[in-house]
Amino acid sequence: MDQILRINMGADGGPSVRTEPLGDYAGAGGRGLTSAIVSKEVPPLCHPLGEDNKLVISPGLLSGSTAAMSGRLSVGCKSPLTGGIKEANAGGQPSQMLGRLGYAAIVLEGQPKEKTLYKIVINKDKVDIQEDNSLCMLGNYDTVDKMKSEYGDKIACISIGPAGEMKMAAASIACTDMELRPTRHAGRGGVGAVMGSKGVKVIVIDDDGMKMRQPQDPEAFKAANKAWVAGLKKHALTGEALPAYGTNVLTNVINEAGAYPTNNFQKGQFEGASNISGETQAELEDARGGKGASTHGCHRGCIIRCSGTFYDKNGKYVSKQPEYETVWSHGGNCGIDDLDAIAQIDRLDDDYGLDTIEIGAAIGVAMEAGLAEFGDAQAAINMVKEIGKGTPLGRTLGNGAAVTGKTYGIERVPVVKGQAMPAYDPRTVQGIGVTYATTTMGADHTAGYSVTANILDVGGTVDALKPEGQVELARNLQIATAAVDATGMCLFVAFAVLDQADTFQALIDMINAFYGLSLTADDVTELGKSILKNEREFNQAAGFTAKDDRLPEYFKKEALPPHNITFGVPDEELDQVFNW
Amino acid sequence: MDQILRINMGADGGPSVRTEPLGDYAGAGGRGLTSAIVSKEVPPLCHPLGEDNKLVISPGLLSGSTAAMSGRLSVGCKSPLTGGIKEANAGGQPSQMLGRLGYAAIVLEGQPKEKTLYKIVINKDKVDIQEDNSLCMLGNYDTVDKMKSEYGDKIACISIGPAGEMKMAAASIACTDMELRPTRHAGRGGVGAVMGSKGVKVIVIDDDGMKMRQPQDPEAFKAANKAWVAGLKKHALTGEALPAYGTNVLTNVINEAGAYPTNNFQKGQFEGASNISGETQAELEDARGGKGASTHGCHRGCIIRCSGTFYDKNGKYVSKQPEYETVWSHGGNCGIDDLDAIAQIDRLDDDYGLDTIEIGAAIGVAMEAGLAEFGDAQAAINMVKEIGKGTPLGRTLGNGAAVTGKTYGIERVPVVKGQAMPAYDPRTVQGIGVTYATTTMGADHTAGYSVTANILDVGGTVDALKPEGQVELARNLQIATAAVDATGMCLFVAFAVLDQADTFQALIDMINAFYGLSLTADDVTELGKSILKNEREFNQAAGFTAKDDRLPEYFKKEALPPHNITFGVPDEELDQVFNW
């Protein structure tokens, strides 16, 4: 995994391919590599959909190895949603397979002069780029099916749906799971629109003939991996709650905390929460799909297995188990408590290639604008279908909550840097509010998941309702997350890593054994800081200031029921997050 | 004219009124006063459509006097289009009448809790605020007719159409002309949306019983006004070209210079230009409306008389004479060379309350996105009608070119700070490019009209095609313009003021005689600088940086035919505009 595969989609005479060694980027992987390449090579003021932007797809440092949980793929670019740097990541199979093929990154550059769609097929022998306009406006499911019929079922796919082709700022990039379904998405920031702007519909990856990546010190690696797995199994969240109920285990927890944004962030508790909780969902999935339907991994090597499969009442496959964020965005945030409707929308989002968080937030704003009543599931389904068709309303929604709010003159628009907030109200989880406000990514829970100490008592406890201690919490988590995102590890390992020093050490031991290094915990911190530094510098060069590190005004003015409090962390403290 | 009328639309129990002396704002008028109040009183990070924004309506320093050309009204707020400070100004009757009533400014504050529309009636005896939901979604023409039937025909109106009620970021505020038609608009930056967000549909002004404002030194004032008028009459542009052909005299001039943005800024010359030129337009108007139909003032006291009246082929009134910018935005910018279609759209824009520049630019972007062919006049008319109806497409277009470009994933979007460029391509009028890039207002020709020295050889000559000298030119014009915008003078006086030292002196003499002052030319410069300083500080506090003082990248990359040059003023030079 020491090669960068550069594909110039705008080369004279058609796309050109070259591979080059990592060079200056040696030692970087995942988000570390995507953010390094974007911050070094993309002009900060370029148009995100123009030829100067680059789409960087990078497996993590441990992807392609036998390390458990190492299957995350990072996707980076200048975001058409935020105008800043973006790293979105996804599970599924592609990361491990790209790692085994030896690619530390694929970089899509330039753009075709004509409106032509391409597929890129990568195997151990070659990189083949073919025009294929028959894929035009196909959903991700049909696209993958077509690739399967052409290239067999041992492949993995990275693809975009109609939303990416239409260059919508909420367009995602789909990665196929173990069943070769396009269910794992690099969702946020419109990365799919950038792939669409490069004219690339699908990247087919075939690692046939390649082996697992080999560590420098196989024995030490094996031992560390064993300790790693044991640590993850031991922790209550990664060993029990997530396998049993998936991410949606959070619905009841967050709702009880009064932090569950309901009806476009108008209140913090949803009366229909129990109807869409993880517990209800798991029971329904197991009843319809058979015992175990609710516990499934998104990629080989996953031992948490927080996913599952959602079937309709006739036992027919609908979608993968909708995640907590999706159940919230299309559920409580729109006043909808119908799991079947939510799963149907999840399938549509996956098929069109849409970020479920951004789309649910956009529909919430549209409901606030009076386009439908909160709670009207059929109206929400219809709106998502409009996005897939690219109708005028669909174009608006497909560009996210900020554009929808602007288009309809709505003040209550829950975004930071143009990106919609996830499923935790920053007034009642003030630590996540600090992360939303300050992360380089626009509102993003995964960038520094303060819900840990604020609500879950993981990695310590910080009172969620008070401003004190939130800046330090969000700072430390943002640094740690940036480092984790470089490894290819699923972020859920953080629960065990934060609570169990020996599990954190096992991770460091694995990296050291794999690369023949002797990193310490401090080195990991430095890695995280260096990634954030690259990202902050890009954003500053793109015109971002401290004024962009703010929540919308209404979070400071409108008290959220039931706790009736506002966001209280002062601006001056927000400005200290990156003062380490 | 020493009172500020403050109306709190959000007061408990309904709107409340209070008057107060100018106090700290003494000596300020027009843009000087709107920008002072906005920069001092509006929180820079507030939502432009929220209760914390204020809409400030201010006559100029000489408005309400007998000074020729003194009828401009300034409207200021935080702009929903740019997110920065905004001053848009308009001709028509309201400025003179407000001045005579003694109001230096009306400040609309707060906003109603309920969705209710109000009319505000101001006369010498009182300020009356009434709920009137019968006005809901009326066009400006019907609104004014209704007010005329209620309050007689001696009034003037300041009103919004459906666009303002729908809080569209391209919504204008209409001022009535001498015929009590809503044809003069404070067009730019979405000021109409802010008025809509305050729940105010129309302000009816009745100055019955009030007299002309009296100067401190009547004799000196009279003499200065005489010299002033003589100077304006003497200059070729203000004395001949503008009266004869109106602002549209520029079409042939700018087209010949290769600076006429055609088909969404794809080229600099339009083959249909002669069909929509000022010369053609004047001939058509005079043929249909009788000799003199093409020469008309927009307010009493105007001696340039650059307006006119557009009739259809049956002699029926369609609209006021469409201005150069309108003829361009709805004409050449969309490949349309049909004056009847353009006049029809002008009427629709005025009636819905829309900025013609922003809407023409948005339609140009929509045409680039493939929603219609360039040149399809009927499609353009239909699009504007969609805006009036508030359909999903209409909502997009009504929020301007930037939102339209984002919604349709288009790269070639001619905006700065979110506001659409007017009718001069910055590649072939590089001085206006510097103004577009750097003015506090977003792309705006009136903020520093470098076309003077670049094309018209007014106030000197600076080669339009080269970067040299443009920064100094744009700086000096921005300073001078800010000062002129404080006086209530129509900006067209600048032609004579720039070329004729004695005409500039006559303007200073008028102000001195009116207020009993002894200002010098240097004082006028200082006034302009102080206004720009207020505006820049507001924008910086709202998060603007040097990165916002840039043209979109494509102006530096795509050469414009026929001259085939790109915008060449370096970023570092742009950053020197406000270094005086």
Structure confidence by residue, pLDDT tens digits, B62-71: 999 999 999 9
B125: its two tokens: 């005896």
Average of pLDDT values for B128-133?
97
A153 touches B at CB < 8 Å:
no
Residues of B in contact with A574 (CB under 8 A): none
**pTM for the model:** 0.97
Nearest CA in chain B to A540: B547
Residue A453: CA atoms inside 13 Å, Cβ hemisphere, count? 23
Q: How many CB pairs under 8 A join A and B?
A: 94
Looking at the structure, tell me whether residues B149 and B270 fall in a common domain. Answer: no
Nearest to B409 among A168, A407, A541 (CB): A168
- Can you give the pLDDT at residue A156? 98
For residue B566, being part of any structural domain is answered with: no
Residues B301 and B188 both lie in one domain: no
Mark which of A364, A389, A424 sits at the end of a domain: A424
How far off is chain A from B414, nearest CA to CA, in Å?
12
**pLDDT surpassing 90 at residue A56:** yes
Contact between A406 and B46 using a beta-carbon 8 Å cutoff: no
Identify the closest residue of chain A to B82 by CA–CA distance.
Answer: A406
Q: Are B67 and B386 in contact (CB under 8 A)?
A: no
Is the pLDDT reported for residue A1 higher than 90? no
Residue A544, domain member (yes or no): no
CA distance B352 to B137: 9
- CA atoms of A255 and A269, how far apart (whole Å): 5
Do residues A197 and A268 share a domain?
Answer: no
pLDDT at A455: 96
Residue of A nearest to B46 (CA): A553
Say what the alpha-carbon torsion angle A35, A36, A40, A43 is, to the nearest 10 degrees.
-10
Reduced to 3 states (helix: H, G, I; strand: E, B; else coil), residue B175 is strand
Question: Rounded mean pLDDT of chain B?
Answer: 97
Q: Let me know whether B275 and B378 are in one domain.
A: yes
Q: Do B545 and A543 touch (CB under 8 A)?
A: yes
A183 domain residue, yes or no: yes
User: Where residue B1 falls among pLDDT bands split at 50, 70, 90?
Assistant: confident
pLDDT at B162 > cutoff 90: yes
How far B12 CA lies from chain A's nearest CA (Å)?
Answer: 18
Q: Are residues B300 and B200 in the same domain?
A: no
Interface of A with B in 62-91 (CB under 8 A): 80
Task: Look at residues A143, A142, A107 and name the one whose alpha carbon lies nearest to residue A127.
Answer: A107
Min Cα–Cα distance to chain A from B44, Å? 10
For A240, list phi and psi in degrees, rounded to 5: -130, -65
- What are the CA-CA distances from residue B95 to residues A116, B137, B174, B487, B488 (Å)? 56, 25, 12, 11, 8
Q: How far is CA A343 from CA A192, A349, A382, in A?
A: 21, 10, 14
A553 CB neighbours in chain B (<8 A) are 43, 45-47, 50, 52
Q: Could you give the dihedral angle defined by the CA atoms of residues B245, B250, B253 and B255, in that order, rounded to the nearest 10 degrees?
A: -130
A551 pLDDT more than 90: yes
What percent of chain A lies above the pLDDT cut of 90?
98
CATH of residue B75? 3.60.9.10
- Chain A neighbors of B196, CB-CB under 8 A: 409
Q: How many CB atoms are closer than 10 A to CB A371?
A: 18
Q: Give me the phi and psi of A125, to 5 degrees please.
A: -95, -30
Q: How many residues in chain B?
A: 580
Please indicate, yes or no, whether residues A162 and A284 belong to a single structural domain of this protein.
no
Question: What's the domain range around B302?
Answer: 262-423
* Partners of residue B396 in chain A, C-beta under 8 Å: 392, 395-396, 407
ipTM exceeding 0.85? yes
Which of B196, B399, B547 minimises the CB distance to A407? B399
The pLDDT assigned to A136 comes to 98
Confidence of residue B432 (pLDDT cuts 50, 70, 90): very high
A369 and B CB contact within 8 Å: no
Q: Which of A46, A50, A395 sits opposite B408 (nearest CB)?
A: A395
Q: Are B87 and B165 within one domain?
A: yes
Q: Tell me, yes or no, if B529 comes closer than 8 A to chain A by beta carbon.
A: no
Instruction: Place A519 in a pLDDT band, splitting at 50, 70 and 90.
Output: very high
Residue A82 lies in a domain: yes
Task: Select from A205, A238, A270 the last residue of a domain.
Answer: A205
State yes or no: pLDDT of B319 exceeds 90.
yes
A411 touches chain B (CB under 8 A): yes
For the segment A254-310, what is each residue's pLDDT rounded down to a tens digit?
A: 999 999 999 999 999 999 999 999 999 999 999 999 998 999 999 999 999 999 999
- Out of B363, B398, B423, pick the residue that ends a domain: B423
Is position A302 within any domain?
yes
Q: What value does the mean pLDDT take over residues B30-56? A: 97
For residue B418, give the CATH number of its domain: 1.10.569.10
Same domain, residue pair B183 and B315: no
Instruction: Share the mean pLDDT of chain A.
Output: 97
Domain shared by A287 and A201, yes or no: no
Given CB atoms, is A553 within the 8 Å cutoff of chain B? Answer: yes
| A138 lies in the same domain as A278 | no
Is A131 within a domain?
yes
Number of domains chain B is built from:
2
Kindly identify which residue of chain B lies nearest to residue A549, measuring between CA atoms: B543
pLDDT digits (tens, 9 = 90+) for B73-86: 999 999 999 999 99
Nearest by CB to B392, which of A44, A197, A396? A396
Reading the block at residue B457, the tokens are: 């050889």
Q: Among A287-291, A375-379, A396-400, whose mean pLDDT is lowest? A: A287-291
Residues of B in contact with A167 (CB under 8 A): 408-409
Judgement on whether residues A180 and A316 belong to the same structural domain of the protein: no
Q: Assess if residue B334 is contained within a domain.
A: yes
The verdict on B37 and B120 lying in the same domain is yes
Specify if A497 maps to a domain.
no
